[in-house]
Chains A and B, each alone.
Chain A
Amino acid sequence: MIYEFLSNITGSEILGAIISAFLPLFLFILPFALIAVLLERKVSAHMQDRLGPMRVGYHGILQTVADILKLIQKEDITADANDKTLFNLAPILVFAGSYAVFAAIPFSSSYLGSNINLGLFFIIGISGIVVAGILMAGWASNNKYTLLGAMRSAAQLISYEIPTIMIVVTILMVTGTLNLKEITELQSGYFWNWLIFGGNVTGIAKYLLIPFMIVGFVIIYISTLAEVNRTPFDIPEAESELVSGYHTEYSGMKFAMFFLAEYANMFAVSAIVVLLFFGGYHSPFGYLGNTFGITWLIPIEQLLWFTFKGVGFVLVQMWLRWTLPRLRVDQLMAVCWKYLIPIAFVNLLIVGLITLL
């Protein structure tokens, strides 16, 4: 485990803990955000038959670096009518909430922030802080667009948490644990052991589970998409009606923190889907490290597989964003309460019956 390794090297528990707490930020989220912002612009451009950013570097590779340099230089504007304390606190709270999720995500078998038994439940619980942070940002900006955006965002987050939790309970019934590492280990081996293919259950129950697992995957993907406020569920920051939602008033680095939190959330949500249904960090075909007998290669391969699967789902999110139009508020609520929740309930019952058999 990386934490023990670091505390051995530095000779102090506290220093080791602090370094291992910062690792996902510098090794993962920042590079991911750098790449994902560029990717988003490139993907959208190519979908619309454009070229996207082309000026900085080869085919615009360095565009995000330039953007970040620009954001650092920008003036930090706080309007007179803003509530200074809460206005400055909100971006920190939102980022802290979305970063805390990464504490429980196993990136590979040897790198995991905290191997808590209730990891999955922790991820759901800690995201409540993000809701409070968004409401704080919306209120402190003292602007009707931001307040409306924050309200919509919070309402959406709370509503779509219910189908997510229903699917998590479904998974819990199949796996019998909420520990994310154990859930991943249950899906080891080849790709037909992934939970979307019924997990490592044997016999006829496995084939019975597959259709319901696919339903569960679709529901959790839709509802997590809504939780990160991506199109088609981006009414909290609907540009055409609300300027840009709860972070309208923010500029410079504070805006960058919201942006970073948003991209961190995108990956976190994809990571949850990957962990629950697509085998987490496990390779679908076995490891090169096993074939050549090099044990230290396996965790690195796992990290690569995890990143690969996560980024794959982020790409699907981008694909949806540039394909689908935005929902209306009433449609948004109808999708959640009239379709997703009843289907999730029925799914839960059927999966429960199958696991009892």
Chain B
Amino acid sequence: MTVYDIIFYLFALITIGSAFFVVTLRNIVYSAFFLLFTLFGIAGLYVLLSADFIAIVQLVVYVGGILVLLLFGVMLTHKITNVQIKTGTLQIIPSAVAVLVLAFALIKIFLTTNWKTMELVSQNSSAQGLGVLLINQYSVVFELLGILLLIALIGAASMARR
């Protein structure tokens, strides 16, 4: 076991353990806070794969943005309205079937794929290459995605004004 392995297992444990609690806990605020650790663990795993840019974007977008939005939503409704928000189990049989099928498919793919292993290349930074690719090869897609996000923003703003 090298230091790398120890850190990998630590982050994997954080991710899987907290993801388990996100699903099983009854209190929805707890679930939301455990999601923080899941997202953080995933960011750590990205760093270990030397995808530093994606790791930080993960932190900015998910932890700083989506998770906080989620917490706002939960906190503004929880304990203020009389409705107690709890996660319960509904429709056990269909969901169990669906989950089993999905798990089977994933395991099958995992076992049958011919994985290509590469030597770990110590990259300087993934951000520069990513930027060059976005501007040159995928510039149309990039612009279209920007327009899509702009439409979503304008839509959200106009809905909030109503």
Contacts and interface: CB of A to CB of B under 8 A. Distances in A.
* Chains A and B come from one and the same complex: yes
B14 interface: no
Interface in B70-96: 71-72, 75-76
Contacts of A13: 3
A147 B75 CA distance: 9
A116 B126 CA distance: 11
Interface string B25-65: 00001100100100010000000000011001101100111
Contacts of A111: none
B63 A132 contact: yes
Interface in A338-353: none
B127 interface: yes
A14 interface: yes
Nearest to B74: A139
Contacts of A118: 52-53, 56, 125, 127
Interface string A102-124: 00000000000000111001101
A147 B52 CA distance: 34
A86 B160 CA distance: 32
Contacts of B36: 129, 132
B75 A135 contact: yes
Contacts of A257: none
Contacts of B122: none
Given A14-B3, A117-B52, A124 B60 contact: yes
Interface residues of A, number: 27
B12 interface: no
Contacts of A129: 36, 40, 59, 63
Interface string B97-132: 000000000000000000000000000110100000
A116 B52 contact: yes
Nearest to A83: B29
Q: Is chain A's binding surface mostly helix, strand, loop or mixed? A: helix
Contact of B68 (A122, A125, A135): A135
Contacts of B33: 86, 132, 136
Interface string A32-67: 000000000000000000000000000000000000
A217 B68 CA distance: 28
Given A14-B3, A128-B60, A128-B63, A158 B52 contact: no
Contact of B29 (A121, A122, A139): A139
B67 to A, nearest CB: 6
Contacts, number: 69
A303 interface: no
Contacts of B3: 13-14
A158 B60 contact: no
A125 B64 contact: yes
A136 B32 CA distance: 10
B64 to A, nearest CB: 3
A202 to B, nearest CB: 24
Nearest to B40: A129
A126 B67 contact: no
A220 interface: no
A161 interface: yes
A135 B64 CA distance: 12
Contact of B72 (A14, A124, A151): A151
Nearest to B67: A132
A154 interface: yes
B64 A158 contact: yes
Given A118-B127, A124-B60, 11 more contacts: A116-B52, A117-B124, A121-B53, A122-B56, A127-B64, A128-B59, A132-B33, A138-B75, A151-B75, A154-B72, A158-B65
